[in-house]
Amino acid sequence: MLDKNRTTGAAQGAPQVRARAERLAQGRFEEAFDGPVATMSLSEALVVALLKQGVRQYYAIFGHGSTDLGEILRIYSEEGVVEVVNCRNEVEMAHAATAHAWITGSTPAVVTSIGPGGLQAMAGSLAAASNGVGVYHIYGDETTRGEGYNMQQVPKPEQGVFGKIGALMGQSYTLHTPGALRECMRRGTACVHHPYKAGPFYILAPINTQPQEVAVNISTLPGRQSVPAVQPVAGPALEAAVALLRGTDRLVLKAGGGTRGHAEAVRRLAAAAGIPVVLSPGSTGVMPDADPLNMHVGGSKGSISGNFAMAGAEAVIFVGSRGVCQADCSGIGYPQAQAVLNINGDLDDLQHYANTIALPGDITAVTELLLGALGTETGAARRAQWRADCAAKKRDWTRFKAARLAAEPIGDAVWGQPVLPQPAAIHMVASAAKARGAVKFFDAGDVQANGFQIVEDDAPGETVTETGASYMGFAASALLGLAGTGGAPYGVAFTGDGSFMMNPQILIDAVEHRVRGMVALFDNRRMAAITDLQIAQYGAEFRTNDSVAVDYVALAGAVSGVRAIWAGTTRGSLAAALEEGFAHDGLSLLHIPVYAGRDPLAGMGAYGSWNVGNWVEDVQAKYIAAPI
């Protein structure tokens, strides 16, 4: 039998733990310990090591695999050293941590047990991995004694299975030996604070090693990795890049997600050399919306102007881009391009295209080098006609977009009355959010695809579009990423009915953690993005809708503290609902019925190709013939 009166681990040394936490709360990191070498439990040592890297925000669902770590976090939280946000779903908290890192630039940690909890958190971490966002994931793991199957471990006679799964997802380290903490944290910061391609790092903490005491040299615990910006030396590659810019008429710059932190560099290069810029869904705001050189998003769900620039370019400058299939139309988005200049710190992505001039390193540093080498002879003058052609297509896109954004309600068979088409409704909410300085989080699906074609951002971070994994349920969960953050911006989650029901826990967690934000729920009772794809490819839809009506106002209103609002079916009613929602000091949810059907005003359209369905043969044939 368990002796409930016996204490071990963190509880046994609680006075010493609290004393250290009190000193740490005062900001005296080196003075918080009795000498350079301190002895403490592995759980506390892990929290201290993470603290040295600036990790103060934890998203947690405690289980049998994390009780000792949870006790340390309790004490450190009570002393104000860390903030612990308890959650209701592991996928939700993985998204919340990703959004927190994305918006604030600080690094959080996710805590859960092994088994279903760890697998769900790991599934949610795909969003961080796909978008280059660094987050620590800490999972309680099976004991190291091999005394028999631990509850919830992967039931097979093999060691460290969860660590292997984590290693497949990204990078992982199992603290099988408490003395290995320093190496674990060195590898951790190299991953989550990678300057070019950050991602999640999985720490597996066996249940029985967490309370074990370990001697730690505090001064040698690694801090947050920071490396100087690097650029290539002047040489043949730089000379070839200069020749490309000076000698190409129809040149386009593709700004990928990696440019979010280098917007000024992209703007300077584009302006100096007179180069039209095509954005990715994840880089809206890198170029101001109204900038004449901003051709907007390009790709399989691009824009008239963005895809025109892609189709006509003789050469392409890829900056901070992974070459995502939908962003470059499965490799055939630049049919006339004969050469590529790639600026990227990640060597795997640097040589993605054929006929590439590679300039590896920090985007801003490389751009400064390139601009210096170009001097006043940038080739801008020779691209005057190309810019004029692109500008004409941008005007076409602006007119096309305006017609959809101004559309009135359309008769809908499901709703039995006219309701707003989705682009018009999204634009109204996006405009209201921008006017209030709110961060816009977009969910997967039709809302996301229409959203990145519609938003009118002037700076990175105004919109967070999780297109890397396109994870349904991300947007609403992302609002929790603003919890416990001083001066946090107001957040608006743009989600569809399907995506919202994947992860509706925000209704409770937002109230619990005093999040101020809004869920804008666009309800068309179907997976409209897939419906449109089915019809475009095969002329018929199949199993992408349902017949079940949901009263989301009643559902959300059942949670005390949530302001649930029916947005009605007109522009006037939606405008009134937005005012009411923003005025609420907490979480509001707007149920917005939207049209689904064949009327062209229902969506923003598709302008590129994609290697899926019955398009495969044609796309792959073009890929074989593609010059880059």
pLDDT per residue over 468-486, tens digit each? 888 999 999 999 999 988 7
Write out the two tokens for 191.
Answer: 């991953």
Count other C-beta atoms under 10 Å from residue 268's C-beta: 15
CB atoms within 10 A of CB 478: 30
Nearest partner of 110 among 45, 63, 179, judged by Cα: 63
What is the per-residue burial (b if ≥16 Cβ within 10 Å, else e) of 80-103? ebbbbbebbbbbbbbbbbbbbbbb
96: Cβ contacts below 8 Å, ≥ 6 apart: 59, 85, 87, 477, 478, 479, 480, 481, 483
Contacts of 547 (CB under 8 A, 6+ apart): none
User: Which residues, given as ranges, of the chain have pLDDT below 70?
Assistant: 1-12
Other Cβ atoms within 10 Å of 78 Cβ, number: 14
Quickly count: other Cβ atoms within 10 Å of residue 54's Cβ.
Answer: 15
Q: Say what the pLDDT of residue 28 is.
A: 78
**Cross-strand partners of 519:** 493, 589
Any bridge partners for residue 410, and if so which?
419
Element (H, E) at 279: strand 277-279
- pLDDT value of position 11: 56
The neighbouring-strand residues paired with 593 are 523
Through-space distance between the first and last CA atoms of the chain, rounded to whole angstroms:
69
User: Please, which residues bridge with residue 413 across strands?
Assistant: none
Q: Domain ranges in the chain? A: 24-220, 236-395, 406-597
Query: Do the strands 213-217 and 37-41 form a parallel or antiparallel pair, or are they unpaired?
Result: antiparallel
Structure tokens at 282: 């994840």
Write the burial class of residue 228 (CB in 10 Å: 0-12 exposed, 13-18 middle, 19+ buried). exposed
**C-alpha pair distances (Å), 185 with each of 74, 172, 300, 359, 569:** 22, 11, 40, 31, 53
Asked if 527 contacts 498 with a C-beta cutoff of 8 angstroms, the reply is yes
Beta strands (DSSP E) in 207-263 are 213-217, 251-255
- Kind plus residue range of the DSSP H or E element containing 371: helix 363-374
Fold annotation for 24-220 = Rossmann fold (3.40.50)
Contact 611, 624 (CB under 8 A): no
State if pTM tops 0.85: yes
Alpha helices in 234-319 (DSSP H): 236-247, 263-273, 304-312
User: Contact at 8 Å (CB) between 100 and 57?
Assistant: yes
Cα dihedral 535, 536, 539, 545 in deg (nearest 10): -10
The H or E element containing residue 11 is: helix 9-12
Sign of the C-alpha dihedral computed for residues 55, 58, 59 and 60 taken in this order: positive
Q: C-alpha distances in angstroms, 317 versus 232, 321, 375, 458, 566? A: 16, 10, 18, 22, 46
Q: What CATH number has the domain spanning 406-597?
A: 3.40.50.970
Residue 98: per-residue pLDDT: 98
The domain defined by 236-395 folds into Rossmann fold (3.40.50)
Same fold: 236-395 with 406-597: yes
Say how far apart CA 587 and CA 480 lie, in whole Å. 11
C-alpha separations of 538 from 424, 533, 545, 620 in Å: 28, 8, 17, 19
Select from 110, 98, 93 the least CA-distant residue to 506. 93
The identity of residue 250, as a single letter, is R
